[in-house]
Amino acid sequence: MRSRLLLSVALLVATMVSARAQTPLSAYVDANGFIDVQKLTCAQLAGTYQEDADALTAWYSGWYNGLAKKHFLDLRKGKLVEHEVIVYCKAHPEKLIIDAIAVVFKAEREMMGIQMK
């Protein structure tokens, strides 16, 4: 009986801490409703809800693919890179997300043997 009570309390505390630690992306919008994606930090990405992190990383993917004039989506690779960016961000919360993406993209290119000029 006591172990059930302790487990229940532990789960309740974990739920409360988890809910309190997450911040919606809407907290970072300016007066016009926009987010400056070049100023968002890894801590902000790692500290938001999963749905917001997914939406944000999908936006970044579109932005980078647009810059490269690519119009195809590699869903499998996109999810892998998204995961790597989030892992990197959790380890480097002080970095900007755009810098984290650059690090992950560079590592991906090196693994694929792609030489950049």
Per-residue pLDDT tens over the stretch 13-29: 444 444 457 999 999 99
Indicate the DSSP class of residue 90: H
The total number of structural domains that make up the chain: 1
Whether residue 30 is contained in a domain is answered as yes
Whether the pLDDT of residue 70 is over 90: the answer is: no
Whether residue 61 is contained in a domain is answered as yes
- Region 71-91: mean pLDDT is 88
Whether residue 44 is contained in a domain is answered as yes
pTM of the full structure: 0.72
Mean pLDDT of the chain: 81
Whether residue 12 is contained in a domain is answered as no
Domain range for 108 = 25-112
Whether residue 57 is contained in a domain is answered as yes
Q: What is the pLDDT of residue 71?
A: 85
- In contact, 54 and 81? CB cutoff 8 Å: no
Q: What is the pLDDT of residue 3?
A: 47
Nearest 10 degrees: Cα torsion 58, 61, 63, 69? -140
Which CATH number covers residue 64?
1.10.890
Q: Among candidates 92, 90, 83, 96, which has minimal Cα distance to 57?
A: 83
Whether residue 37 is contained in a domain is answered as yes
- Region 101-115: mean pLDDT is 86
Whether residue 51 is contained in a domain is answered as yes
Whether residue 88 is contained in a domain is answered as yes
